[in-house]
Structure 1
Amino acid sequence: MQIVTRLIAMTRARQLQRQFQQIERNITALPSRTRSRLAIMTLREIGQASRCEFPHLYGTAPEQRYMPWGQGTELGFNRAQSDNPEVALRGIALWLAVAYHETKESPYPSLQPQHRQLLRVLRELRGAGNNEASDASSQWIRSGAAA
């Protein structure tokens, strides 16, 4: 049974890696202002998922609870491919949140690199959000509104 479980984990790791590459390309193509919005959306999605009984199944219908993994990443990935920019942004945030929780404390070595990559992207997004906020506050201070 352990061999089958490891094989399933390796298959999932490959699937997440393929999806992650596309998600990362989508994030890179975003302008910096949109990236800061994505950072806020992703943080909100991660928080909402963490309040669920099973955070890695966030976005999955309750009757599909006993599948090897949830449908949240698939749903988020499909939305990320949308032509509608708002839907795509929400899809990326959903994908990042579910993949984060799915790989967070995984005992399988094949999923740990995906978690490190997710943490790197989340750090970059957080940095983009912080830079955007500091730019806005410095512009506000330089304007006459602060006086």
Structure 2
Amino acid sequence: MTRARQLQRQFQQIERSISSLPVRTRSRLGLMALREIGQASKCEFPHLYGTAPEQRYMPWGQGTDIGYNRSKSENPEVALRGIALWLAVAYHETKDSQYVSLQPQHRQLLRVLRELRDTGGEQANAAAQWMRSGAAA
């Protein structure tokens, strides 16, 4: 329950950050997020992507906290990468969660990822093909 609230609070700020981005940057963010999701899916524990190896038996990792903190950076590139990291880790953490309280977060994440995917024309088509390829598992 506490984790669901924490993710929801962070998600609200992440969503505000995304909505303030120009369309071209959102399109770029969509590709970055999909790439991060794909990279995380190749890990043994995708929901712990971005977390130190010695903490691999935790119920959740530090990836969302790291991404969230980076998303508040004054450097636009660091902020964009932080948002992409947060989206990727939160996606994997909520994807097949046994906790019912995390299912609404997963649906919200899917909505945001879909909006990012649909944002930018040719790049969005490339992202859609990439998603269908199975690389994003």
TM-score by length of 1: 0.82
> Once superposed, what is the RMSD of the aligned Cα atoms?
1.1
Question: 2: CA distance between counterparts of 1:99 and 1:108?
Answer: 14
| Residue 67 (str. 1) matches residue 67 (str. 2) | no
Alignment-derived partner of residue 138 in structure 1:
none
Alignment match of 2:114 (pick from 123, 130, 133): 123
One of 24, 27, 45 as aligned partner of 1:33:
24
The equivalent of 1:89 in structure 2 is: 80
Which letter maps to 1:40? L
Task: Trace 1:40-79 onto structure 2 (pairs within 5 A).
Answer: 40-79=31-70
Match of 1:21 in 2: 12
CA distance in 2, matches of 1:34, 1:54: 29
> TM-score, with normalisation over the residues of structure 2?
0.88
Q: What's the offset of the Cα at 1:108?
A: 1.2
The runs of 5 or more residues in structure 1 that have no matched partner are: 1-9, 135-147
Q: Distance in 2 between matches of 1:114 and 1:120?
A: 10
4+ runs of 1 displaced by more than 3 Å?
Answer: none
- CA distance, structure 2, for counterparts of residue 26 and residue 132 of structure 1: 23
Equivalent residues of 1:52, 1:58 under 8 A apart: yes
Q: Which has the larger radius of gyration?
A: 1
- Spell out, residue by residue over 1:61-112, the C-alpha distance to the aligned partner (whole angstroms, 9 max, x if none): 0011122210000000000000000000000000000000000001211000
Aligned AA (1:99):
A
Give the % identical residues.
82
Alignment of 1:110 with 2:101, yes or no, is yes
1:35-73 residue CA offsets vs partner (Å, 9 max, x unmatched): 010011001000000000000000000011122210000
